Chains A and B, each alone.
Chain A
Amino acid sequence: MKRIDAAYHVRGEAEYVDDLPQPAEMLYAAVFASTVARGKILALNLKEALALDGIVAVFAASDIPGTNQWGSIIPDWPLLAKDEVDYAGQPVAVVVAKTKVLAQKAAHKIAMQVKELPAIVDPKEAFLRGQIIGVPRTFVLGDVARAWSNCDLIVEGNCEIGGQEHLYLETQRARAIPLEGQTMRVYSATQNPYAVQKTIAEMLNLPHHAIEVDVKRLGGAFGGKEEQATHWACLAALAAWHLDKPVELVLSRLDDLKMTGKRHPYSSDFKIGVTKEGKIIAYEVKHYQNAGAYADLSTAVLERTLFHSTNAYFIPNVQIFGVSCRTNLPPSTALRGFGGPQAMFVIESAITQIAEKLGVEREEIQRKNLLRAGDFFPYGQQMQTNSVRLTWLEAEQNYHLAEIKNRVADYNASHFEIKKGYALMPICFGISFTATFLNQGSALVHVYTDGSVSVTTGGVEMGQGLSTKIAAIASRAFGIGIERIKIETTNTTRIANMPPTAASVTTDLNGNATLLAIAQILDRLKVVAAKELRVSEPERIAFADEKVLYAGESTNLSWAGLLEKAFLFRTNLSAHAFYATPGIQFDRALEKGHPFAYHICGTALVEVTLDCLRGTYEIDSVKIVHELGRSVNEMVDLGQVEGGLAQGLGWMTIEDLRFSDSGQLLSLNLATYKIPDVYFMPDEIAIKFLTQENPLGPYGSKAVGEPPLMYGIGAFFAIRQAMRAFQPTSEFAFNSPLTPERVLCQLYQKEFQEMAQKTAVNFRSQIST
């Protein structure tokens, strides 16, 4: 089944926030942000900006009537900086003008005097200086200290893991429209409408109900609009509230790159011990997370890092330490995978180092340690399925691992300049918000007398196909054509207190709520139908193919005909329902519990070709066996796997997020930050779904959004294998991304050292092309 919004997309008719018709007298806002990463604000000079023709107002921290301090977990982040700035790109003032161009021009005219203070950009340095957010966490299984003595080989190592820019194609934006009686409607490109509602209300000293937030669709989000869309909606609302005029704020790409947070960089130290047969006995890891300047979602991201530190493996003795470190980078935030990718990269690095030391193939160690049903995770939950092994074995057989292994070995033996490499990448990703209370969904369903249906849920359509899946679920539950279903905007007046659209669970939560709401309406309709058909057992009535069935037999009562009657019988044709995932809990005092409804497993096989003369590589193919439930829409699920994979491949290879030592973003435009393009992605991508019935998902379906990203991790190890084919005796670092620069400089370490010495340090941070 096709996506319900695709025809709008291809005709350019899909509406995003600023495509809605412009209200009369709308004004446009732009943001003035700090250019230094840390400092005391001495003075803010607005004179030149205000003197420009067409400038309406400039608002600073002192113009905020209510709370200038927000954050979903720890409210430590000022909407507008007051006395100090803690990252380059931190908003200080919002400029409002008659046109967008004018507003941006005026923002450039604002001058801020700052006493610059030394910035911290390294998480370990922040940790040593006591700059941490929340509390350090430790998960323990077995007894690592005692287990080392049972190991035949122990290796230690370090991973420096790069961040990642979301690069949603639609930059951050919002439009705020003041309405009668101190109320406001805000159109926001947010994954988190309730956070926007709440934060604006608190900023303006208004009750939550005064603010209506409406979200049609997002032009991509990937976590970047979960916590960080709130800021821009608040700034538009602040201006609209003061001026009593509609205000639109759309970040330019350069402002968006500079002012918003990205995936967390990590510095992680590992120690791993195995028997000589390759069985992992003990694993110890310390994750120093670069959280940036404010809490954002960092402690939750860190928690997921702890949960996924052993990825798809069972290790009997584990000690996992993690700490969020406060630095002077923009606050790091959610990005597809949410701390899981970093955790998995470290354990894969540790396994790789062991395999290299033992002189065996990486997959030999991986295979020996895969999770089985009944194994305990370090957080106390038991693995319910054998899906890790099933997908692994299926990938080995279906994609002919043995042949690939031989082919690569033969190729490498007969080629000097070009080497090939492959890697297997198993994943096991927990599904549920790790903050248990967030696992709630809502739906509001109306059936109209013509038989058409309106569905609102607490989930946001951001390209992931939520609307299509909810429509498919509703169509199936009512037994009517999908063209009868309309998925409404996400709106805080129709659904209250929704959690963010995140953690891959939005279809699970809101799809289940939709089913519950529909069940209420159907129960009422069955009574009407029973009367109409003059039968005594309403429970034997069912709905399919736009028909009313009785005892499995078609009747002459149609869906539309039934609705006409139902209205005359004064039947309630609307229902709201609420769903909360059952059976999940986590005790943070013990660091044990059952935080996940279920796990998503899969295995990828990545093949690459490396040009050892130039240090460049191509990803030849990616072949995946991915565990899926009974898919509600296989086209949408396939798209999620392929899209997540691309982001994971990019994160591991060419997406080179760079900050200077003084905290300035260096990869500050699309000329310097590269995401996969149509050529980077291999033409050969094979995906096989392994169907596993899921009692917790709507119609047995499973979550799909985040886990596939982590298949991309395989690219790092495939390239590394090719590097080792060229230089078997060299030590290579576990630092990501593995850019062509890192490849070449490690392939030619001696030459590179000589050449690096030739060069005086002379860094020009901005080079135009």
Chain B
Amino acid sequence: MTGQICFLLNDRQVCTPANSGLTVLDYLHHLARLRGTKVGCREGGCGACTLLVGSLRGEKVSYQSVASCLLPLGELQGKHLVTIEGLNQSRLSPVQQELVDRGATQCGFCTPGMVMSLTGYLLKAGTKISFEELKNALGGNLCRCTGYASIKRACNFLVTTTGNSSRENIQDLVAKAIVPEYFQEIPARLRQLSQSALENGKTTADFLIAGGTEIYVNYGDILPESRVKLLNQSPQMKRISSYEGKIYIKALTTFAEFATDPTIVKLIPDIQAYVSRIASWQIRNRATLGGNIVAASPIADGSILLLALDSLVMLNNGNRSRILTLKEFFQGYKQTAQKPGEILSEIIFPAPQANKINFEKVSKRKYFDCAVVNSAIKIRCENDVICEIAISMGGVAPIPLFLKQTSNYFIGKPVSQDTIETAFPILQREISPISDVHGSAGYKRLLARQLLIAHFSKLFPDFLQLRDFYTTN
């Protein structure tokens, strides 16, 4: 089996010599000839190709919904891949039945992806399923026909028909026909399946792939036949820990893992709300914090948040590690301090103590959209005087920008309307947005001003309100 990728495709074991970099979507269509998974966009932007990937976690298998157009085949090594065909039983599952009963399908092209996302949620849900969480599960699935109203009706009915019982064991899901019977055997079968690592360690790889959610959008046409190295095959690169007041995040930690990590949630209580504004559920299950940084997009939500948290990044070339500040890491439009052969291995930031933190993002569509301008702030006051502050902003420069001058200016100033208004020209001098399809430069400048106000009015509602800035104009 050397050189083959072996996994469970629904209820059967397959081994394929296909290239690791081939997308799972293309594998299904061209090699496995399974047509139920639909191609909508190949950029993770529609959810029509959503699938479930199950991984062994101790005795159990944990399933995640992912966009198969951005998923390299090699990632399936030792995993369980579930397609719509793998959910079909002689009778319709409750998810399928509710979609049928509420008229929630029209052209049907987005439907298999919807079924996968909803089932993925039911496989993950805790003891109580909720309408809001079902909606969240569909955040990455676009439908152009229904306007979602009938789909939401189906979700509402699902809340009642699937009940509130524990979803801890797969038997319960099988009994309710949410998944077919063969799911019960999957943990044992995965254990039997060769868990040997993919032949993946070659140093000659042309592309390193972490979550793949960015690289496949840009290089999807050449990755299938390129030599790729799948970083996710190194599980030691996925962990969040804290030590002596510092938070250590391994670079391959996904946004989903980050937002639900108890340490992070404790330190940044609104983290789930912030992260929910980033991409979609399917993408957050794959996209990594490290990947978000090294892709160096000027509007990277993760980088913006981490900049304001005063993060450091560790770079490793296999022999030596070096640490630099995230501020230094970004050097120009999609240019970073990363040297050839180096991998960003870890992100480190001081645990916010008495700090207030806020994240702002303005996009055309509130969810599942990239930012026009985003910004994060970390601030600490003593006796109403700002003694520590870090503000970052995206979409206003060639890089995710740490607002050094603006931040410095605030030190020692009281939180007041006057302080903030005096900061406006400093902020405007520090940024250099360009016009693009996301928005004009003037709009981005205006947003920079507004988001600065937003930070303060949100964190210090007793001190400041929009009205204060308005009446003086």
Residues of A in contact with B (beta carbons under 8 Å apart): 2-3, 5-14, 16, 18-19, 99, 101, 104-105, 166-171, 217-222, 252-253, 416-417, 462-465, 612-616, 618, 635-636, 638-639, 642-647, 654, 656, 658, 666-667, 669-672, 674-681, 683, 685, 739-741, 744-745, 748, 750-753, 755-759, 761-765, 767-769
Q: Quick one: which of B96, B151, B360 contacts A11, CB cutoff 8 A?
A: B96
Q: How far is the CB of A742 from chain B (nearest CB, A)?
A: 9
CB distance from A553 to the nearest CB of B (A): 36
Shortest CB distance B223–A (Å): 11
Chain A minimum-CB-distance residue to B134: A678
**Residue numbers in B under 8 Å from A762 (CB-CB):** 434-435, 441
Of the residues A10, A618, A756, A765, contact of B440 by C-beta under 8 Å: A756
B370 within 8 Å of A (CB atoms):
yes
Closest-by-CB residue of A relative to B360 is: A614
Give Cα A33–Cα B49 distance, bound, in whole angstroms.
Answer: 27
* Assembly CA distance A21 to B242 (angstroms): 55
- Residues of A within 8 Å of B370, CB to CB, are 671, 769
A679 to B155, CA, bound (A): 14
| CB contact between A217 and one of B108, B142, B368 (< 8 Å): that residue | B108
CB-based contact A678/B221 at 8 Å = no
List 25 A-B residue pairs with CB atoms under 8 Å apart, sorted by A's residue number.
A9-B100, A14-B111, A101-B221, A170-B107, A217-B108, A219-B107, A219-B109, A253-B43, A417-B467, A463-B109, A464-B106, A615-B450, A639-B146, A642-B146, A643-B145, A654-B364, A669-B45, A678-B141, A683-B152, A685-B147, A745-B443, A756-B441, A756-B442, A758-B445, A769-B214
CA gap between A462 and B108 in the complex, in Å: 9
* Residue numbers in A under 8 Å from B473 (CB-CB): 750-751
Closest Cβ of chain A to B268, distance in Å, is: 21
Chain B residues with CB under 8 A of A638: 103, 150
Given A11-B96, A679-B366, A750-B473, A5 contacting B108 (CB threshold 8 A): yes
**Any A CB within 8 A of the CB of B218:** yes
Contact at B297–A768, with CB atoms within 8 Å? yes
CA distance A736 to B226 in the complex (A): 44
Tell me, yes or no, whether B323 is within 8 Å of chain A by CB: no
Among B39, B149, B434, B450: residue with most chain A CB under 10 A? B149
Return chain A residues, CB-CB under 8 Å to B467: 416-417
**Given A639-B145, A646-B148, A654-B364: A672 and B100 interface contact (C-beta under 8 Å):** no
Q: Is B253 an interface residue (CB 8 A)?
A: no
Docked CA distance A322–B117 (Å): 47
A167: which B residues are within 8 A, CB to CB? 142, 144
B139 touches A741 (CB 8 A): no
Is the Cβ of B466 less than 8 Å from the Cβ of A417? yes
B96, B105, B438: most-surrounded residue (chain A CB, <10 A) = B105
**A10-B100, A12-B37, A741-B440 known; A614 and B362 CB under 8 Å?**
yes
Residue of chain B at shortest CB distance from A220: B107
Minimum distance in angstroms from B132 CB to a CB of chain A? 10
Q: Mark B352-382, 1 if CB is under 8 A from A, else 0.
A: 0000000010111111111010000000000
Q: How far is the CA of A300 from the CA of B408 in the complex (A)?
A: 62
Closest B-chain residue to A767, C-beta based? B436
Chain B min CB distance to A212 (Å): 23
A462 x B107 contact (CB < 8 A) = yes
A428–B441 Cα gap in the complex (Å)? 41
Q: Which one, B85, B99, B297, B445, contacts A10 given CB within 8 A?
A: B99
In the docked arrangement, what's the CA distance between A84 and B401, Å?
45
A6 in contact with B99 (CB, 8 Å):
yes
- Pick the contact of B144: A9, A19, A666, A675 (CB < 8 A): A675
Q: Is the CB of A768 within 8 A of B43?
A: no
Q: Say whether B115 faces chain A, with CB atoms less than 8 Å apart.
A: yes
With A678-B135, A740-B364 already in contact, the answer to whether A219 and B465 are too (CB < 8 A) is: no
Q: Find chain B residues with CB under 8 A from A678 CB.
A: 135, 138-139, 141, 148, 151-152
Q: Which residues of B contact A166 (CB under 8 A)?
A: 144
Is there a chain A Cβ closer than 8 Å to B233's Cβ?
A: no
Residue B446 lies at the interface, judged by CB distance under 8 Å to chain A: yes
Among B138, B143, B367, max chain A CB count under 10 A is at: B143
CB proximity of B68 to chain A, nearest CB, Å? 13
Interchain CA distance A341-B446 in the complex, whole Å: 32
Of the listed stretches B167-175, B412-420, B451-459, name the one at the interface; the rest are far from the partner chain. Answer: B451-459
Supposing A647-B144, A740-B362 touch, asked if A642 and B150 sit within 8 A by C-beta, the answer is yes
B186: Cβ under 8 A from any A Cβ = no
B325 at interface by CB-CB < 8 Å:
no
Contacts of A6 in B (CB 8 A): 99-100, 103, 105, 108
B286 lies within 8 A of chain A by Cβ: no
B439 neighbours in A (Cβ, 8 Å): 741
Which residues from chain B contact A16 at a C-beta distance below 8 Å? 109
B291 lies within 8 A of chain A by Cβ: no
Most B CB atoms within 10 A — which of A5, A252, A654, A677? A677
Asked if A672 and B84 make an inter-chain contact with CB atoms under 8 angstroms apart, the answer reads no
In the complex, chain B residues whose CB is within 8 Å of the CB of A764? 434-436
Contacts of B37 in A (CB 8 A): 12
Q: Is B35 an interface residue (CB 8 A)?
A: yes
When C-beta atoms are compared, the residue in chain A nearest to B155 turns out to be A678
| Contact (Cβ within 8 A) A168 B107 | yes
Which residues does chain A contribute within 8 Å of B46, judged by CB atoms? Answer: 169, 670
Which residues does chain A contribute within 8 Å of B26, judged by CB atoms?
A: 101
Distance of A756 Cα from B449 Cα, bound (Å): 13
Cβ of A417 to closest chain B Cβ, rounded Å: 4
Minimal beta-carbon separation of B362 from chain A (angstroms): 5
A9 proximity list for chain B (CB < 8 A): 99-100, 105, 108, 111-112
* Chain B residue with the shortest CB-CB distance to A640: B106
What would 20 more interface pairs be, CB under 8 Å, given A416-B466, A674-B364, A678-B151? A2-B101, A7-B92, A7-B100, A9-B105, A101-B26, A101-B224, A217-B107, A219-B38, A667-B437, A672-B438, A678-B139, A741-B443, A748-B450, A751-B449, A756-B440, A762-B435, A762-B441, A764-B435, A769-B214, A769-B370
Q: Name the one of A8, A14, A636 contacting B103, with C-beta atoms under 8 angstroms.
A: A636
Chain B residues whose C-beta falls within 8 Å of the C-beta of A740 in the assembled complex? 362-364, 372
Residues of B contacting A671 with CB < 8 Å? 43, 45, 217, 370
Establish whether residues A677 and B109, one from each chain, have CB atoms under 8 Å apart when the complex forms: no
B60 within 8 A of A: no
Q: Which residues of A contact B364 (CB under 8 A)?
A: 654, 656, 674, 739-741
Cβ contact within 8 Å between A751 and B96:
no
A12 touches B112 (CB 8 A): yes
Q: How far is the CA of A744 from the CA of B457 in the complex (A)?
A: 18
Contact of A3 among B105, B143, B433 (CB under 8 A): B105
Q: A758 to B448, alpha carbons, bound, how many Å?
A: 13
Contact B96–A10 (Cβ < 8 Å): yes
Which of B103, B152, B366 makes the CB contact (< 8 A) with A616?
Answer: B366
How many whole Å from A472's CB to the nearest CB in chain B? 13
Known contacts A11-B36, A667-B437, A669-B43; is-contact A677 B100 (Cβ 8 Å):
no
Taking the complex as formed, is B350 at the interface, i.e. its CB lies under 8 A from any CB of chain A?
no
Q: Are B440 and A675 in contact (CB under 8 A)?
A: no
Q: Which of B88, B145, B465 contacts A220 (CB 8 A)?
A: B145
- Tell me if B41 counts as interface (CB < 8 A to partner A): yes
Tell me whether B227 is interfacial, beta carbon within 8 Å: no
The answer to whether A679 touches B367, judged by C-beta atoms less than 8 angstroms apart, is yes
CA distance A221 to B109 in the complex (A): 11
- Asked if B435 and A759 sit within 8 Å, CB to CB, the answer is yes
Residue of B nearest to A726 (CB): B470
Interchain CB contact under 8 A, A643 and B146: yes
Chain B residues whose C-beta falls within 8 Å of the C-beta of A417 in the assembled complex? 457, 465-467
**B218: nearest chain-A partner, CB-CB:** A768
A419 to chain B, nearest CB (A): 11
B residues 278-305 in Cβ contact with A at 8 Å: 297, 299
Q: Are B441 and A642 in contact (CB under 8 A)?
A: no
Nearest opposing residue in chain A for B103, CB measure: A635
| B93 → A minimal CB distance (Å) | 8
- Which 7 pairs show the lowest CB-CB distances between chains A and B? A12-B36, A463-B107, A670-B45, A756-B442, A646-B147, A219-B109, A9-B108
- The answer to whether A680 touches B445 (Cβ under 8 A) is no
